[in-house]
Chains A and B, each alone.
Chain A
Amino acid sequence: MTTTSSTARTPMRTSRRRARGRQRWIGWAFVGPFMAVFALVLVAPVVYSIGLSLFREQLVGGTAFVGLENYGTALADPKFWEALGRVVLFLVVQVPIMLGIALVASLAIDSARLFASSFFRISIFLPYAVPAVVATLMWGFMYGTRFGLIGNLNDAFGIELPAPLSGSWVLASIGNIVTWEFVGYNMLIFYAALRVIPTDLYEAAALDGAGAFRIIRNIKIPAIRGAIVIAGIFSVIGSFQLFNEPNILKSIAPNAISTYFTPNMYAYNLSFSGQQFNYSAAIAIIMGLVTAVIAYVVQLSGSRKEAVR
Chain B
Amino acid sequence: MTTEATVTEAITTARGTERRAGSRQPRLHRSVRRGSTVQRRSILLTIVMGLLALYALLPLFWLLVNSTKTQRALFSSFGLWFSGDFALWDNIVQTLTYHDGEFVRWFGNTLLYVVVGAGGATLLATLAGYALAKYDFPGRRAVFAVVLGAVAVPGTALAVPTFLMFSQLGLTNTPWAIILPSLISPFGLYLIWVYASDAVPSELLEAARIDGSGEFRTFFTVSLRLLAPGFVTVLLFTIVATWNNYFLPLIMLSESTWYPLTVGLNSWNAQATTAGGEAIYHLVITGSLLTIVPIVVAFLFLQRYWQSGLAAGSVKQ
A→B interface (CB under 8 Å): 1-3, 24-31, 33-35, 37-38, 40-46, 48-49, 52, 101, 105, 108-109, 111-116, 119-120, 122-135, 137-139, 141-142, 146-149, 152, 180, 182-185, 188-189, 192-193, 195-196, 199, 203, 206, 212, 226-227, 229-231, 233-235, 237-238, 240-241, 243-244, 247-248, 251-252, 254, 264, 267-268, 271-272, 277, 280-281, 284-285, 287-288, 291-292, 295-296, 299-300, 302-303
Contact = CB atoms under 8 A, between A and B. Distances in A.
Nearest to A277: B164
A282 to B, nearest CB: 11
Given A26-B215, A112-B39, A248 B266 contact: yes
B163 interface: yes
Given A112-B39, A137-B269, 14 more contacts: A2-B209, A24-B137, A29-B215, A29-B216, A30-B135, A35-B143, A38-B184, A42-B150, A111-B45, A125-B306, A129-B240, A241-B154, A248-B269, A288-B157
A82 B291 CA distance: 35
A195 B41 CA distance: 18
A130 B291 CA distance: 9
Interface stretch (B29-37, B87-95, B96-104): B29-37
Nearest to B5: A303
Given A29-B215, A129-B240, A137-B284, A41 B181 contact: yes
B62 A280 contact: no
Interface residues of B, number: 126
A28 B131 CA distance: 8
B interface majority secondary structure? helix
B10 interface: yes
Among B75, B76, B150, B160, the one with the most A-chain Cβ atoms within 10 Å of its Cβ is B160
B153 A131 contact: no
Given A288-B157, A300-B2, A133 B300 contact: no
12 contacts: A25-B138, A33-B128, A113-B45, A114-B42, A122-B300, A149-B80, A192-B17, A226-B13, A230-B6, A237-B316, A268-B159, A291-B152
Interface in B177-223: 180-181, 183-184, 189, 209-210, 212, 214-216, 219
B257 interface: no
Contacts of A41: 162, 180-181, 183-184
Contact of B316 (A34, A45, A185): A185
